[in-house]
Structure 1
């Protein structure tokens, strides 16, 4: 029997499940029409699992746990055990959309950051959702330099420790060099004595948050 071409068109409904922490700034003098900027924070591999308290170990979830007035809405999802952020990209996008629809969030000021495994996620996610994030700040992560063109229009500030023995500096340097070659809006901060923990110094730097706020869609 001769083979013939066919096409099926079928709508498939997919259920997405991902737990997350949500910080809403606690301020007494908040105007009724206040719209807060948003940061999506992606943790590292050590915080994967089903215990949300683990997410508070490092980075922004730890900061906002101590500073209830931190002036951003912060979304901190938890990646399931043995998975990576690329496997959860649809769920991450769904969480951002949900927060934008249900909380006093500014859709033009949604920012992305992550450390280690989350740093890789912070490089990759803007490629999949190019019109969601106004800027991204990957910490000790990386991406194949061949993806530079897809990131050309995303403001990026990357951070890395020069002596990182877990994720080598070359992971950030390679993509930053490729982006600079096409005159993209990118910069890299290298901590000369820094090892893998580049996040404590990064997230305690007020200039990072000023830089975020200098960008909007």
Structure 2
């Protein structure tokens, strides 16, 4: 009887372990359309996004942490360039030496961030990119700040931590994400998204046994994302997070 390679591995455990280990040890090759050390537009499962891979993506065997950035209402539409204006997708243009994969999807005009859609996007990304499933992170501003809170308490096992900027969650639902640390940011003069609901979300999460902090910028309005994404402690904090 002739056996193919798969049958041989299944019937010969002593051979399977070292061979499968050797395959896993090979550094990943970026998918078509992407390149290590560059931020490029990409389409996956009907979603349009920017993807930035670390410079050493194709050189290291270890899986990388993932940061998903959710933009605000002003960046919705079909012009993907607008998504790069603020936050993590702008880091690549600034030469920030990132040690994580950054994915920045774009919403259609009038759309809202939907936790189910984000859950499916995360699964698709994990299937295509060399991502550490224990170190998937979320951040977003304004509409995206609200979206990342929703995602975290709807699918708390998706994310290791979130960093919402001028957004807020539902205080009555955040107990579901008590295992997801939060590092929030908000301006105390924000009239577009008031500060009070964000404080209430943080306090409710703490009361439920979660870990949460909120940096409040005195005299800053809705544009709290500018100082927030320049916080020198943000990236180290993100890199230190791992799903409980």
Q: What TM-score, normalized to structure 2?
A: 0.76
Q: Distance in 2 between matches of 1:91 and 1:113?
A: 16
- Structure 2 residue aligned with 1:151: 177
CA contact (8 A) 2:153 2:174 kept: no
* Structure of greater Rg: 2
Superposed, 1:196-207 pairs within 5 Å as 196-207=222-233
Kindly provide the CA deviation profile for residues 52-93 of structure 1, in whole angstroms up to 9, marking residues without a partner as x. 11111111111123327422100100011001102xx33322
Aligned pair count reads 199
Structure 1 stretches of 5 or more lacking a match? 1-15
Match of 1:117?
143
Looking at structure 2, the residues matched to 135 and 51 of structure 1 have their Cα atoms a distance apart, in angstroms, of 29
Structure number with higher relative contact order (C-alpha < 8 Å, ≥ 6 residues apart): 1
3-state DSSP class of the match of 2:93? helix
Partner of 1:163: 189
Match of 2:52 among 23, 37, 54: 23
- SS where residue 117 of structure 2 aligns? helix
Partner residue in 2 for 1:172: 198
Any residues of structure 2 matched to 1:10-49 within 5 Å, and which? Answer: 17-27=46-56, 31-49=59-77
Which aligned runs of 4 or more in structure 1 are off by greater than 4 angstroms?
Answer: none
- Residues 18 and 91 in structure 1, CA contact (< 8 A), matched pair in contact too: no
Check 1:101–1:25 CA distance in 2 against 1; reply closer, same or farther (3 A cut). same
| TM-score in terms of structure 1 length | 0.85
* CA-to-aligned-CA distance 1:118-146 (integer Å, 9 cap, x gap): 00011100122211110001100012211
